[in-house]
Structure 1
Amino acid sequence: MSRHPSLPGEGLVPPPGCPAHGMNDAGLYRLPEAQNPSALYEQLRQQYGPVAPVLIHGDLPAWIVLGYRENLDVMRTPSRFSRDSRRWTAFKENRVAADSPLIPMVAWQPLCVFADGEEHARQRAAVVDGLAQFNRRGMRRYVTHYTRELVAGFAASGTADLVRDYAEPLPMLVVSRLLGIDPQDGPALVEPTLDLMRGSATAAASNQIVTQTLEELVARKKLHPGNDLASRLISHESRLTDTEIVEHLRLVLVAAHQGTVNLIAHTLRLVLTDRRFRGHLSGGQMTLPDALEQVMWDNPSIGIVPGRWATRDTMLGGQHIKEGDMLLLCISAANVDPEQRPDLSVPMRGNRSHLALSSGPHECPGGDIGRAIADTGIDELVALLPDLRLAVPETEIGITANWLTSRPSSLPVRFSRPRSLGGTEVTAPEPATGAQPLPVAASAPPAVPAHTPSIPKQSWWRSLLGR
């Protein structure tokens, strides 16, 4: 049995045949340096079992939770595993550098993901109620509008990178508008939001850009409220402070954007490269919503969630966890736990018991929004460009992976250049000059503007399969 990770190295030796890269002298893996995270998780599982010691930025010790059951145990028992990062021993001992890339993700902030009990319930209620005002039908119309706008921007060239030109901007255009951000400000937040999750040296600066934008939003919405999340948080009976409002808007923006980007990118990669996947869709064995659930099993948008902190000495997965230890919830490893999925070739159609959206009191409240953006966006994209095909060999599709997330680096595609979309000549769209009404449950969903193309309802999955 390995010893407590607060003293890395004692009693630990590298596994036989293990490469030295990404390890310290005592044989503990430095998680952010892993070149192949999935392979590392399985190696750790074989060596330590469902819970393993690792090192994170600054050679700080932590436990990575690999097992499905063990992840559920941590997620569902806040009395043993708190979300309050002020419990972390490394914080108490001043071992976390002020400029550490961990700070934007794990430093305590006044929001629901760092709270437990009554305080968590108070803050979370405001977010849940705020998100509940957006109905799914209205959301689909909203996604449709921005999808057509993006496609019109690159359709004339007959080529595109579906990650850079589509998967990254679409969720930000939609989510930022749901928050109440002006249309012209949304695109500028794409790169800072992605950078936050990379754990890069610029993460703190990116966090400041996002925070400043949201502080300005809250000040504006106090004077001019609307049908948006910012206005709802301001007026909610939970009486959130200004700081709490900004932090919760940041949480929703970063989580919804990052998660949906990865979900769209992974699904499009399968559509373009996996004949069996396309065959199941075109043959009716699997719907697009089912396909999204399969992707969330195999390629969850957030691979690791930091973190939880032990409230007392306890046991988990055969390891002695001490009070104040950090735990990293490894969703990627839990979703492929051999005890849960002994045969990974068996499809998980319609099965929502994956952990991509967490579980327990901190389960993601905006999962349906991410699903709606991905479902509608992919459906609309391939209907507009039914002969999408990769512009490079499948083997050249790289994966951008870090210790928290992974997704295709790019998806270069070609397609027949349409002369027009719905009778409108294909040209780059004019910049938006005014805000459209948001799709809220209390009113009719916004109509798709007349100049955007109509969608022919055809079997585009069959056209993909036919290629």
Structure 2
Amino acid sequence: MFDPSPAPPPGCPAHGLGPDGLRRLYGPEADADPIALYERLRSEHGAVAPVLLPGDREAWLVLGHRENLEVSRTPSLFSRDSRLWRDMQEGKVPPTHPLAPLTMWQPLCVFAEGEEHERLRRAVTESLARFEARGIRRYVTRFAHQLIDEFEPKGRADLVEQFADQLPLRVITQLFGMPEHHGPRLIEAAKDMIRGSETAVASNDYITEALQDLVDRKRASPGHDVASKLIEHPARLTNDEVREHLRVVLVSANEPTVNLIANTLRLVLTDQRFRATLAGGHMTLPDALEQVLWDEPPMTTNIGRWATGDAQLAGKTIKAGDMLLLGLAAGNADPQIRPDKSTPMHGNRSHLAFSGGPHECPGQDLGRAIVDTGIDTLLTRIPDLRLAVPEEHLKWETALMSRRLVALPVEFAARRTNTTGRQGPGVPSVELPPLQPQEPASVPMPPVAPPPVHTSWWTRLKRKLRGW
């Protein structure tokens, strides 16, 4: 039968190909199945492939595991300084371009190299290190219980919208010393900016304004929080540097952590082998997270690196000023290091989920603590979680740098909870004090009243699996 609708002309985004035949990393083809697109590019070009970004800006996508490490570990050849980008120099990426929030040079560690990078990154890592992991995990536990309280009596929930989407930023805003009411708007703005959408610039502006307000308040009245520690750091950061590094932590610790929570919970609920490995004691939850970081890294690509001069990479000639994207998901699936994707990678942390080299993600330890503690709290409170829809009905939303699960609907036996987030007769509510920095003279945090004794979720899961 004749189809009256005309075929899209060559170069139209619906084709997935640009005028010169380069594949687009945006549009319908990329959105439908980015992983399949990466493999198609690998078969066509090898470990490094020419691609098009929004606005048909040309770039190289690094697909090989070894090549990803080579690029990330060689800043003398492939720098994070976006001012080297030829398209930026030629005015082809104006401030209103969707890529601008991710590529416009700013005075922060992710765009710096050498001594300046070390100075700025040290301020970030040392300010985060001032807070005890135990204290951070207590806040994760508290906020996780608050979120669970909202849906536990109903016997159903969407674990993306009602849990994974909410938990990381609640913890991060607490660490920053921000009012909790900033959370919902910041969540949406951070997601939109990573998406590289048409409103990414406006979302970036909102994040900037909220963080600038925080910096102004902490300059006037410092406290025990990351913002104040950045201001007080011996690196003597300017207001702009403090604000922008808070934004780096917010973005790098939030979106990947949301995706990692959702991806891990989906595997627990849908993958029999994964559940059996956990329940059989062959894998701990931290080990399980590492497996997910191999199979479904929370960020699929990382923007970007810029060639400092002409260079050769996997047989391709990279010209000075070219942009490169680290293909984190593609590198993890490189058949040179994983010929059999079904083989577990127990204890192997050589995945690319957090990139590598001097610009390796500074928020990864914070993210791991949030995911590990948050999921453990959820599965301890509700060990009988089950998927409420067929697995094939689950949907993903794809962006340039990530692939995020849209929803994870679950069912379970409804439970009566009280205001402390515990079942049955309550435990007196205890308000946690502000997080205390790790200083020799600091006063230890007071203990939190213990919850009623629960059988561990590992034991409950084992028992449940025996009946499946």
Q: Same fold (TM over 0.5)?
A: yes
Residue equivalent to 1:28: 22
Asked if 2 retains the 8 angstrom alpha-carbon contact of 1:313 and 1:323, the reply is yes
Instruction: Please tell me whether the aligned partners of residues 148 and 421 of structure 2 are also in contact (alpha carbons under 8 angstroms).
Output: no
What is the Cα deviation at residue 226 of structure 1? 1.2
Aligned partner of residue 73 in structure 1, secondary structure:
helix
Q: CA deviation at 1:464?
A: 4.8
Residue 50, structure 1, aligned to residue 44, structure 2: no
Amino acid at match of 2:116: E
Q: Distance in 2 between matches of 1:274 and 1:398?
A: 16
Letter in 2 for 1:400: E
**CA shift at 1:454, angstroms?**
4.1
> Which of 331, 335, 339 is residue 342 of structure 1 equivalent to?
339
CA separation of 1:390 and 1:463: change in aligned 2, threshold 3 A = farther
> In the alignment, which residue of structure 2 is the partner of 1:9?
none
Residue pair 2:309, 2:320 contacting (<8 A) in 1 also: yes
CA distance in 1: counterparts of 2:276 and 2:422, whole angstroms: 33
State the distance in 1 between where 2:190 and 2:420 align.
Answer: 36
- C-alpha distance in 2 between matches for 1:460 and 1:438: 32
From 122, 137, 152, give the equivalent of 1:155: 152
Q: Which of 286, 290, 303 lines up with 1:289 in the alignment?
A: 286
Preserved contact between residue 422 and residue 453 of structure 1 (Cα < 8 Å) = no
Match in the other structure for 2:412: 415
Q: Which amino acid aligns with 2:100?
A: I
Task: Give the alignment of 1:172-251 within 5 angstroms.
Answer: 172-251=169-248
Matched, 1:169 2:166: yes
Structure 1 residues 93 and 397, CA, compared in 2 at 3 Å: closer, same or farther? Answer: same
- Per the TM alignment, residue 461 of structure 1 is displaced from its structure 2 partner at its CA by 2.6
- Unaligned 5+ runs, structure 2: 1-9
Are 1:306 and 2:300 an aligned pair? no
Counterpart of 2:83 in structure 1 is 86
- Bigger drift between 132-141 and 323-332 goes to 132-141
Counterpart of 1:6 in structure 2 is none
Separation in 1 of the partners of 2:61 and 2:92? 19
Decide whether aligned partners of structure 1 residues 361 and 464 sit closer, same or farther in structure 2, where only a CA change above 3 A counts: farther
Aligned identity (percent) is 53
- Name the counterpart of 1:383: 380
Aligned partner of residue 236 in structure 2, secondary structure: coil
What is the alpha-carbon distance in structure 2 between the residues aligned to residue 187 and residue 40 of structure 1? 33
**Using a 3 Å threshold, how does the CA distance of structure 1 residues 456 and 209 change in structure 2: closer, same or farther?**
same
Question: Structure 1's 81 and 423: CA in aligned 2 closer, same or farther, altered over 3 A?
Answer: closer
Pair 1:456 & 2:458 matched = no
Contact 1:162–1:410, Cα closer than 8 Å, also in 2: yes
On the 8 A contact 1:138/1:444 being kept in 2, the answer is no
Residue 144 in structure 1 maps to residue 138 in structure 2 = no
Verify the 8 A CA contact 1:388 1:415 in the aligned structure 2: yes
Equivalent in 108, 125, 129 of residue 128 of structure 1:
125
The one-letter amino acid of 1:396's match is H
Partner secondary structure for residue 185 of structure 1? helix
The Cα of 1:40 is off from its aligned counterpart by 0.7
Q: Contact (CA 8 Å) 1:156, 1:426: kept in 2 or not? A: no
Distance in 2 between the 1:328 and 1:424 partners?
Answer: 43
Report the 3-state secondary structure (helix = DSSP H, G, I; strand = E; otherwise coil) of the residue aligned with 2:181: coil
Q: What secondary structure is seen at the aligned counterpart in 2 of 1:105?
A: helix
Partner of 1:71: 68
SS at match of 2:306: strand
State the alpha-carbon separation in 2 of the partners of residues 402 and 305 from structure 1: 12
Quick one: which of 399, 403, 408 aligns to 2:400? Answer: 403
TM-score (norm 1): 0.91
C-alpha contact (below 8 Å) 2:84/2:308 kept by paired residues: yes
Matched to 2:454, the amino acid is: P
Contact 2:263 / 2:292 at 8 angstroms: preserved in 1? yes
Conservation of the 8 A alpha-carbon contact between 1:382 and 1:460: no
Task: Determine helix, strand or coil for the equivalent of 1:53.
Answer: strand
Equivalences for residues 435-454 of structure 1 within 5 A: 436-442=433-439, 443=442, 446=445, 450=449, 453-454=451-452
Q: What amino acid does structure 1 have at the position aligned with 2:16? A: G
- State the distance in 1 between where 2:164 and 2:224 align: 26
Is the 1:142–1:448 Cα contact (8 Å) retained in structure 2? no
Per the normalisation by structure 2, the TM-score is: 0.91
Question: 3-state SS of the aligned residue for 1:400?
Answer: strand
Q: 1:263·1:295 contact (CA, 8 Å) conserved in 2?
A: yes
Q: Distance in 1 between matches of 2:447 and 2:160?
A: 24
Structure 1 residue 407: Cα displacement: 2.3
| Aligned 8 A contact 1:305 1:330 in 2 | yes
Equivalent position amino acid for 1:460 in 2:
R
Q: 1:449 to 1:149 in 2, by over 3 A?
A: farther
Q: How many correspondences in the alignment?
A: 447
Distance in 1 between the 2:183 and 2:463 partners? 34
Q: Provide Cα deviations, 1:285-335, integer angstroms capped at 9, x if missing partner.
A: 111000000011111111110100000001001100000000000100001
Which residue, out of 260, 275, 278, partners 2:275? 278
Deviation at 1:435, TM superposition (A): 8.0
Partner AA of 2:203 in structure 1: S
Greater Cα offset, 180-189 or 99-108: 180-189
- In the TM superposition, what is the alpha-carbon distance from 1:21 to its structure 2 partner? 2.0
Structure 1 vs Structure 2 CA RMSD: 2.3
Q: Distance in 1 between matches of 2:280 and 2:376?
A: 16
Is the alpha carbon distance of 1:353 and 1:237 closer, same or farther for their aligned partners in structure 2, counting shifts above 3 Å? same
Q: Which amino acid in the other structure matches residue 306 of structure 2?
A: W
1:26 is aligned with what amino acid? Answer: D
The answer on whether the counterparts of 1:145 and 1:448 sit within 8 Å (CA) in structure 2 is: no
The change in CA–CA distance for 1:391 and 1:205 in structure 2 (over 3 A counts) is: same
Q: Deviations over 1:11-45 (max 9, x none)?
A: xx99xxxx972112321111112121101101111
Distance 2:155 2:247 in 1: 36
TM superposition shift of 1:437: 1.1
Contact 1:308 1:326 in 2 (8 A): yes
- Distance in 1 between the 2:268 and 2:58 partners? 39
TM-superposed CA distance for 1:188, in Å, is 2.7
Quick one: which amino acid aligns to residue 462 of structure 1?
K
Report Cα offsets for 1:229-274 as digits up to 9, x if no partner: 1001101111111001000000100110001000000000001101
